[in-house]
Amino acid sequence: MKGTPWKERGARDLGEWGLMVRTVAGWDSDRTDRVLLWPLRDLLLAYVAFTKREALERYEHALLVWALLVPHQKNTSSPPKLPPILSD
């Protein structure tokens, strides 16, 4: 199927910022209306905060899996590296 990627599809076109607005709004249509009224700086800061939370969750999961597996491995591996977005 051709067309826009599924993450960019919706009942209304929010333009170039659509994916970011929907992500910050938690894919909630009512909240999307409010997020659209935010100043651009606030939207960008909220998106960065969301991205950092996602990166932290993924890193913690990878670290937990590593910690569970490393005692049972013959060749030990190093722990996962902290994502660059979390190092600042």
Indicate if 34 and 49 belong to the same structural domain. no
Query: For the CA atoms of 42, 48, 50, 53, what is the dihedral angle to 10 degrees?
Result: -140
Residue 31 has pLDDT above 80, yes or no: yes
Q: Are residues 34 and 6 in the same domain?
A: yes
Q: How far apart are CA 43 and CA 38, in angstroms?
A: 6
Based on the structure, what is the number of domains in the chain? 2
* Burial (0-12, 13-18, 19+ Cβ within 10 Å), 68: exposed
Greater pLDDT, 56 or 17:
56
Average the pLDDT over 12-21 and give the result.
86
What pTM was estimated for this model as a whole? 0.78
User: pLDDT > 70: what percent of the chain?
Assistant: 88
Which one-letter DSSP state was computed for residue 76?
A: -
Query: Could you give the CA distance from residue 62 to residue 50 in angstroms, rounded to a whole number?
Result: 18
* Residues 53 and 20 grouped into a single domain: no
Tokens 């490393």 found at: 70
Answer with the residue of higher pLDDT: 31 or 16. Answer: 31
